[in-house]
């Protein structure tokens, strides 16, 4: 009996020691040649991608619009739900590395049927008998060839890819809201220019008509001034329609009904736009792109799944053990003689 216990312990120790092994290829990042710097002189000490967007846009109204769009965008909420699902998958995959424990207690009774075995003396049968037990079970798969760890590696990479997809969606939303708002302020400025031009054209047309009626100029001069006035007047409705369409587009990005009034902040002339944006080094720029990072993480996940598929070709080893107390008499369940156990490496 003692020799059997020693053999079981040795087998377990050997299998646990082998858990450090993983079959399949480890991911190696491809070597990509990137320039050491830019052709033009730019700031490389930092990067705009490492700074909050509000340091670039000097407009409190725009800041509020960006925050609202990020808080209410349904696409972002969907990606966040996918992130939570991916985190749960990582937890599920990683749980395979740990043993499964269970505890149960039971009370059962049985009695043999004397009619089932005719000719056998009734003294040979036990009367109604109860069985009392309190048992614990343990099941632990030893990840000898890295099947579980490769699966966890793949799920973690998928989680990182989903997180980068979320970051890419945020960047796209910030870009769309900012571009739409800036376009709206450009149209506002254009309308102001047209209004100013329209006022001067009306005054010029009135003066040309007065000079024509007074015989100072020809009718041609008046008609030319009138034509310029009509041309400028025709531009105004086009700009107003563009403003309304841009306002509707911004309302949609903010999750609001089209047609609602859109608050304006600073005009474009009041914006403090930096003349040079920090960009960092070319290699850093590639590593910061969420789509590039997500693509690399998907490659890591695929590589890990290759290792898991290879590990599936090898045998699995698991420790199964059961132990506890069992007795035919409830008063002796907790006696030392009621102890029983069994263990196996499969």
On whether the CB atoms of residues 44 and 279 are closer than 8 A, the answer is: yes
What does the block give as tokens for 179? 């571009």
* pLDDT (0 to 100) of residue 42: 47
Edge-to-edge, what's the strand order for the sheet holding 317-327? 100-110, 129-142, 317-327, 339-345
Residue pair 131/107 in contact (Cβ under 8 Å)? The answer is: yes
Based on the structure, what is the number of domains in the chain?
1
The whole model's pTM is what? Answer: 0.70
Is residue 150 included in any domain, yes or no?
yes
Q: What are phi and psi for residue 252, nearest 5 degrees?
A: -65, -45
What local confidence, expressed as pLDDT, does residue 47 receive? 45
Does the residue 242 lie in any domain? yes
Render pLDDT for 263-297 as a digit per residue (tens, 0 to 9): 988 887 777 766 665 555 555 667 778 888 899 99
Report if residue 45 sits inside a domain.
Answer: no
Residue 195 belongs to a domain: yes
Q: Take residue 299 and report the two structure tokens written for it.
A: 């490659």
Helices 147-213 and 60-72 sit at what angle, rounded to 10 degrees?
140
Short-list 170, 196, 194, 165, CA closest to 293: 165
Q: What pLDDT, on the 0 to 100 scale, is given for residue 48?
A: 47
Helix 219-253, helix 147-213: angle, nearest 10: 160
Q: Is residue 115 part of a domain?
A: no
**pLDDT of res. 86:** 93
Q: CA-CA distance, 203 to 197, in Å (whole number)? A: 10
Task: State the CATH number of the domain containing residue 302.
Answer: 1.20.1600.10
Q: For residue 40, is it within any domain?
A: no
* Residue 272 belongs to domain spanning: 2-31+51-110+128-345
Q: Tens place of pLDDT for every residue, the chain, 346 residues?
A: 455 555 555 555 554 555 557 788 888 887 766 665 555 554 444 444 445 555 677 788 988 998 898 888 888 889 889 999 999 999 999 888 888 888 887 777 666 666 666 655 555 555 566 677 888 898 988 888 889 999 999 999 999 999 999 988 888 888 899 899 999 999 999 999 999 999 999 998 899 989 888 888 888 988 998 899 999 899 999 999 999 999 999 999 998 889 888 998 888 777 776 666 555 555 566 777 888 889 999 999 999 999 999 999 998 888 888 888 888 776 777 787 888 888 887 7
Cβ-Cβ contacts under 8 Å for 221 (sequence gap 6 or more)? 208, 211, 212
Determine the distance from the C-alpha atom of residue 9 to the mean position of all C-alpha atoms in its chain, rounded to a whole number: 44
Is 117 within a domain?
A: no
- Whether 248 is covered by a domain: the verdict is yes
């Amino acid at each position: 009996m003692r020799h059997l216990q020693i053999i079981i312990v040795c087998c377990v120790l050997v299998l646990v020691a082998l858990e450090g092994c993983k079959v399949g290829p480890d991911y190696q990042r491809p070597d990509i040649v990137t320039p050491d710097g830019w052709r033009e002189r730019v700031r490389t000490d930092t990067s705009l991608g490492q700074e909050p967007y509000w340091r670039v846009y000097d407009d409190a109204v725009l800041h509020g619009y960006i925050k609202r769009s990020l808080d209410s965008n349904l696409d972002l909420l969907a990606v966040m739900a996918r992130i939570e699902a991916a985190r749960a998958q990582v937890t599920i995959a990683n749980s395979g590395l740990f043993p499964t424990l269970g505890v149960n207690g039971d009370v059962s009774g049985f009695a043999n049927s004397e009619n089932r075995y005719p000719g056998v003396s009734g003294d040979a049968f036990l009367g109604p008998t109860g069985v009392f037990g309190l048992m614990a079970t343990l099941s632990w798969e030893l990840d000898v060839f890295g099947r579980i760890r490769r699966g966890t590696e793949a799920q973690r990479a998928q989680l990182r890819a989903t997180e980068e997809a979320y970051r890419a969606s945020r960047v796209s939303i910030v870009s769309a809201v900012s571009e739409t708002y800036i376009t709206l302020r450009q149209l506002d400025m254009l309308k102001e220019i047209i209004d100013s031009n329209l006022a001067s054209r009306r005054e010029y047309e009135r003066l040309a008509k007065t000079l024509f009626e007074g015989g100072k100029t020809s009718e041609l001069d008046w008609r030319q001034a009138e034509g310029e006035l009509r041309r400028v007047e025709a531009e105004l409705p086009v700009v107003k329609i563009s403003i309304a369409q841009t306002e509707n587009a911004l309302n949609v990005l903010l999750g609001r009904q089209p047609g609602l009034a859109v608050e304006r902040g600073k005009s474009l002339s009041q914006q403090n736009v930096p003349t040079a944006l920090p960009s960092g080094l070319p290699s850093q720029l590639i590593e910061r792109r969420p789509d590039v990072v997500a693509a690399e993480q998907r490659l890591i996940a695929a590589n890990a799944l290759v290792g898991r598929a290879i590990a599936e070709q090898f045998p699995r080893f698991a420790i199964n053990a059961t132990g506890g107390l069992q007795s035919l008499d409830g008063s002796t369940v907790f006696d030392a003689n009621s102890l029983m156990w069994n263990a196996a490496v499969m």
